[in-house]
Amino acid sequence: MAKKQSIIARLRKRWLVQRLMDLRLTVSGLLLLMVLTAWGTLFQKTHGLWAVLERFFYSWFVTVDAFPVAPGGRLLLWIMFANLLAATIFRLRYKLLNIGQILIHWGLLVMLVGSFVTYHYAVESTVPLHEGEATNLSQDYRAWELSVWEAQAGNSQQVYAFDATMLERDIPLEIPELGVVVTAKAYHENTRPAPAGTIHAQNSVGEQQTLMAVEGAKDPQRNLPGGLFRVVAGDQQADVILFGADTAPIEVTFGGKKISFQLRHRRYVLPFVISLTDFVKKEHPGTSMPSSYESTVELRYGEIDRPVRIFMNNPLRHRNFTFYQASFANTEMGEQSVFAVVENVGRLLPYISSGIVFAGLLVHFLVMFAMRRDPKVKRKMEA
């Protein structure tokens, strides 16, 4: 009586599975990734990093004049993941002899899963601080928001924020707590001041202001949004022109209540407070060019105060957050330290995958070494 085949053995004979686990697909994918990397490197010289990421590595297809000419990085990585997964499940023989290869394959799968988690769920933002300043907020590099709050004395404010993607024309945004309704009469993701532009009005809360809509920058970080907003509170209304480059909010008074409006980078609430206690910048002798700069910060969460030095290749890590010393700025209030912040729920996956791959390589080497020294070992492991 014929022995019944396992599900894995039956699936292994399917045409699609055989194509997915084909070694030629692996080689082709690796070669295309090499070509894509070289092409993107040359393209970066004239178009910048963000344009390269969007066109070559974050896309499904690389297009020329809107016509797809090559698979993009996203499509290639999905194909490589499917190829590696099919090979791990259907091609590998799960025997003691192959334990090293099995570990290597699973380690590479974890690495690809880590890249997926990082791309879709990691949040990059920035925290600028002067000495003695503390905050529990970070701000996005590229995304913007319309922020509305009641201007009050003190440091504590209840802010109502609307994602800039919600600012479609003539769609009312209600804030019952403040008793106001805000409607975007005109909004553009990239604007500049101009004598005669597409956004112009006699601000009922200030002087004449005019903004001109311009083409979006290749790097969204360079965009400065602007818009004309109508604010209605009961039987009162006011027109407000907001510009992303304005550091001070626009205030409107309704019935003795001052309401502030501002277009600003999207804010994220941190689960701790970070304060800058000291910023040190060293310069090359005889020049104003910085040779190094570092920050001493204090992290406060619960009852714990944790002092940390942040400098090049020495970031601050706390839970899923990593703070890097990114740059500094000279402002009216003095030198300002700027930190790049990455929140990544999968930040440990690359370390885990590297450990698994290293263990697999080590085990594979030891198994091969043992089999060469003693043929009896090979017979036992093949059994």
Q: Residue 161 burial (CB < 10 Å; 0-12/13-18/19+)? A: middle
Of the chain, the end-to-end C-alpha distance in Å amounts to 24
| C-beta of residue 267 within 8 angstroms of C-beta of residue 139 | yes
- Summarised one tens digit per residue, pLDDT across range 58-73 is 999 999 888 999 999 9
Give the pLDDT score at 206.
52
**Residue 334: what pLDDT?**
83
What's the pLDDT tens digit per position in 282-331?
A: 888 888 788 888 999 999 998 889 999 999 889 999 999 999 999 998 88
Answer whether 0.85 is exceeded by the pTM.
no
Q: Which pLDDT value is given to residue 382? A: 61
Q: What is the pLDDT of residue 6?
A: 78
pLDDT at 1: 39
Residue pointed to by tokens 């993107």 = 40
pLDDT score at 175: 93
Instruction: Choose among 238, 240, 151, 135: nearest CA to 187.
Output: 240
What is the reported pLDDT for 244?
92
Q: Please report the sign of the dihedral spanned by the C-alpha atoms of residue 357, residue 363, residue 367, residue 370.
A: positive
Task: For residue 278, count CB atoms less than 10 angstroms from its CB and return exposed for 0-12, middle for 13-18, buried for 19 or more.
Answer: middle
Residue count (the chain): 383
pLDDT beneath 50, residues of the chain: 1-2
